[in-house]
Copies of this chain bind each other. A is one copy, B any other.
């Protein structure tokens, strides 16, 4: 190793980690993961070792396991699901004169890895002197194709630097790769121990295929590889296939200064229903297509795809290069998570690691789909189609819970509830409103009538029915929703959660409107005119508790009467609190894990006055510990709205850098998609002040003092436009499509080809809010004025 510092280098369009750091491998494998929403491959070295936690994931492919309960209860889910590390096709082992290329031995004189946000590739360069003194340069580049969703390609180049050298390459398909599970549940670990049963293997020439099936969930996966070899003469190859291993071996003497170049094409497919021959044919066909396109062709397609994305979605920040990089990193990974999901979920970690067992949560709809709706709406649509495809399971779950309509799961891969602790899972019914909200947002942003007829109305109507059976009119005619859990996981099973009730009211109103727009769908669902009336009445009479004495909204009824958490006697090492205090204690006190009422201030901002927002924000700032990655972005958005711009900037920094700084010390298990989405939200909804209530687009731009300029782009109903923010003015510019009607700080305005520049009115936010001691965000802007010295959140 050279003496250069390890860690990420700042650059606008790529992420580079220089030097090897074996103890950091597991987390850099997450940040350097490639994916397209269908396939995900962690950034493990081709040579297999050293490694952190290797992982190759196919969206929707999981194994089942029992969920154990010391005290079981009616309706508890019996089976869990966990994402499976499928056949690893990226393995290319190198032997240099019989010595395995392994950077833990010998000397790596240079080593860097680069994720390129415009090329869509991960590149690695290593110069290595083997323990016996052989000097080689290895350069690898790989991509998971955005354009050919079943395809992965790797280019592997080796050059002897000091002498003619015998090189051997072993290019593998490796199933049931041994990995250490870091789950504490022995049943999950057992399910992941050799999860794949071999069904078929075949190898010929440079090609091989392995077909496996999971033992309990019964899903079938096929992986195939083909190779192109460019090498000096004298090449010798063999290929073989066993149950869990197919291997192409290449042996050749390479003269000094010459390059052995291997291009490996991989194709993956899985199915719950298709036969072995059908699945094999599918991956063979994908492979044939990839080989026909060729390496350069795949690279070119990849760049074209990304050019188009960045044209729609790019964000420019002047004045903070690290944040600029983080924001593009975030957008790139969101694209990777959602681009080609095609009616599968977008998991909480995308396909970057095994965290959360690979489950999708409400954060996909509430955070990630906001970004995709305005940057890649077809990906948002596909994710919502997945939800629609799980409606039968959601209806079954509702029936099991004694409810009508559809109850979407707290966590799942296939749509069935996998949450084993109902107060924090099943009771969080807001997930169904969050999904409906994403449907409403998508419909408003695209006018996609086909989606509304095919999926949207049904989701809205079935979730509206859920709310009607979940709530009831009390003796004063108010519609109450009792005993549910809101977004904040440090409270549970409370009455009339403000966020839930406001989101449910929107769900009910929008369901009625959608049923009226699509009467044939409504009729097919048996929705009656009386039902529409009931929905609207429940929405109109929805109980929203308010604490007049304190002038704030209680998160749920009674919340503001609860005991304050004793922050003064909570040492910093006790965070996250859930690892050091029982739920019982957290639930009954005024301590907030993540934005809940504050999330309502954002998503249901039209239900609060500016004064209420300011008071509520200050009240909950003092009680929010941000033990969740689902909080900083929302706090950034509302801090910006109420005028605490430097605080908003700090929260934006935390959200955007959650993974690059490993704020929660768990990036090794995958990236936090919602935090990455939070980078976009902090800018667009925060400093851009973008709100999309009722399909109207309002902006209230403001610049934090640390930045000189922000420019972001969005797409609404096919029109792309840019918003450029300076300290005193904002400029709106149409990039393509028809003019768009918006408001700027409440003033109506048309975004057309001719840029419109409007002044930004001043705001006096009043005194800075206080966070719990030690829980203020890391100060990003050195001049931000805060009453006490902040301490990093983790």
A-side residues, CB < 8 A to B, are 67-76, 80, 184-185, 187, 400-402, 419-424, 426-427, 471-472, 474-475, 480, 482-484, 492-493, 495, 549, 557-558, 561-563, 578-585, 587-589
A74-B579, A563-B482 as given contacts; A402 in contact with B585, CB under 8 Å: yes
**Are B482 and A74 neighbours in the complex by a CB distance under 8 Å?**
no
Q: Which of B427, B549, B583 contacts A73 (CB 8 A)?
A: B583
> What's the nearest-Cβ distance from chain B to residue A401, in Å?
5
**Are B420 and A75 neighbours in the complex by a CB distance under 8 Å?**
no
Closest to A74 in B: B582
A482-B588, A557-B558, A558-B495 as given contacts; A72 in contact with B426, CB under 8 Å: no
**Are A483 and B584 neighbours in the complex by a CB distance under 8 Å?**
yes
> What's the nearest-Cβ distance from chain B to residue A552, in Å?
13
Excluding A68-B70, A401-B584, 6 further A-B contacts by CB distance (< 8 Å) are: A69-B420, A71-B419, A74-B579, A74-B582, A482-B558, A495-B558
Closest to A65 in B: B70
A482-B561, A587-B493 as given contacts; A578 in contact with B73, CB under 8 Å: yes
**Are B493 and A492 neighbours in the complex by a CB distance under 8 Å?**
yes
Chain B residues closer than 8 Å to A589, beta-carbon distance:
482-483
Chain B residues closer than 8 Å to A483, beta-carbon distance:
562, 584, 587-589
**Are B561 and A71 neighbours in the complex by a CB distance under 8 Å?**
no
> What's the nearest-Cβ distance from chain B to residue A577, in Å?
9
**Are A580 and B74 neighbours in the complex by a CB distance under 8 Å?**
yes
CA distance A746 to B583 in the complex (A): 47
Q: How many copies does the complex hold?
A: 2
Q: Which of B71, B420, B471, B562 contacts A482 (CB 8 A)?
A: B562
> What's the nearest-Cβ distance from chain B to residue A754, in Å?
56
**Are B427 and A584 neighbours in the complex by a CB distance under 8 Å?**
yes
> What's the nearest-Cβ distance from chain B to residue A411, in Å?
10
**Are A585 and B70 neighbours in the complex by a CB distance under 8 Å?**
no
**Are B495 and A561 neighbours in the complex by a CB distance under 8 Å?**
yes
A69-B70, A495-B558, A561-B480 as given contacts; A422 in contact with B75, CB under 8 Å: no
A70-B69, A558-B558 as given contacts; A582 in contact with B401, CB under 8 Å: yes
Chain B residues closer than 8 Å to A472, beta-carbon distance:
563
> What's the nearest-Cβ distance from chain B to residue A589, in Å?
8
**Are A583 and B422 neighbours in the complex by a CB distance under 8 Å?**
yes
Chain B residues closer than 8 Å to A185, beta-carbon distance:
70
**Are B71 and A420 neighbours in the complex by a CB distance under 8 Å?**
yes
> What's the nearest-Cβ distance from chain B to residue A82, in Å?
12
> What's the nearest-Cβ distance from chain B to residue A508, in Å?
17
**Are B401 and A585 neighbours in the complex by a CB distance under 8 Å?**
yes
Chain B residues closer than 8 Å to A72, beta-carbon distance:
184
A493-B492, A561-B480, A587-B493 as given contacts; A74 in contact with B401, CB under 8 Å: no
CA distance A589 to B68 in the complex (A): 27
Chain B residues closer than 8 Å to A68, beta-carbon distance:
68-70
Chain B residues closer than 8 Å to A423, beta-carbon distance:
423, 493
Closest to A560 in B: B475
> What's the nearest-Cβ distance from chain B to residue A67, in Å?
4
Closest to A68 in B: B68
**Are A80 and B70 neighbours in the complex by a CB distance under 8 Å?**
yes
A558-B557, A563-B482 as given contacts; A421 in contact with B582, CB under 8 Å: no
**Are A70 and B73 neighbours in the complex by a CB distance under 8 Å?**
no
> What's the nearest-Cβ distance from chain B to residue A502, in Å?
19
A67-B70, A70-B80, A588-B483 as given contacts; A422 in contact with B493, CB under 8 Å: no
CA distance A402 to B420 in the complex (A): 25
> What's the nearest-Cβ distance from chain B to residue A354, in Å?
16
A-B contact pairs, 14 of them (CB 8 A): A67-B70, A69-B69, A69-B70, A70-B185, A73-B582, A73-B583, A400-B582, A402-B582, A480-B561, A482-B562, A482-B563, A483-B584, A493-B584, A495-B588
> What's the nearest-Cβ distance from chain B to residue A159, in Å?
51
Chain B residues closer than 8 Å to A67, beta-carbon distance:
70
CA distance A472 to B561 in the complex (A): 10
Chain B residues closer than 8 Å to A400, beta-carbon distance:
582
Chain B residues closer than 8 Å to A563, beta-carbon distance:
471-472, 480, 482
Chain B residues closer than 8 Å to A80, beta-carbon distance:
70
CA distance A587 to B187 in the complex (A): 30
> What's the nearest-Cβ distance from chain B to residue A756, in Å?
50
Closest to A426 in B: B584
Q: Which 6 A-B pairs have the closest CB atoms?
A: A483-B588, A70-B420, A75-B582, A68-B68, A67-B70, A472-B563
CA distance A587 to B472 in the complex (A): 15
Chain B residues closer than 8 Å to A585, beta-carbon distance:
401-402
**Are A578 and B70 neighbours in the complex by a CB distance under 8 Å?**
no
Chain B residues closer than 8 Å to A419, beta-carbon distance:
71
Most buried by B among A70, A75, A419, A493: A70
Most buried by B among A471, A580, A585: A585
Closest to A427 in B: B584
Chain B residues closer than 8 Å to A581, beta-carbon distance:
74-75, 402
Chain B residues closer than 8 Å to A549, beta-carbon distance:
475
> What's the nearest-Cβ distance from chain B to residue A612, in Å?
20
CA distance A589 to B480 in the complex (A): 12
CA distance A483 to B419 in the complex (A): 22
> What's the nearest-Cβ distance from chain B to residue A31, in Å?
28
Closest to A70 in B: B420
